[in-house]
Amino acid sequence: MFTPKYPPQDTAPAVPSPAPTTDAPATTTPTPVPASIPAPAPVAPVSNRPTVQLTPGSALALAAGGGAVVLVVGAVLVSLLLAVAITGVSVALVAVILRLLVKDLHNHR
């Protein structure tokens, strides 16, 4: 499932290299240069992967699933924020009570 899927190898035939000649005559006359022909534009390879086509029903299901994910993530974030707020209020309340107790101890001496 998690292994990569590579596209199939290129099946174009290999171009053979020209055979070297051993008895090439030495010529002093320059050979004519043929007119250059422009190379054809490269063509994009055809993909073997199937295309995904969304029907109205599947698009609706996809939108509903996305909306559900947004609602769940929002609820989790709001609950975390609420937990932090409640903890902060609790710590502040304990700090005020401890401050009053320490002040009361110092006043009775």
pLDDT in tens, 68-88: 999 999 999 999 999 999 999
pTM, entire model: 0.44
Indicate left, alpha or beta for 47 from its phi (over 0: left) and psi (-120 to 50: alpha): beta
Contacts of 8 (CB under 8 A, 6+ apart): 48
CA distances from 29 to 22, 26, 34 (A): 20, 9, 16
When mean pLDDT is compared across 5-19, 69-83, 85-99, the lowest value belongs to 5-19
Q: What is the pLDDT of residue 68?
A: 96
Question: In the 8-state DSSP scheme, what is residue 16?
Answer: P
pLDDT tens digit string along 25-45? 555 666 666 667 777 777 777
Domain ranges for the chain, please list them: 76-109
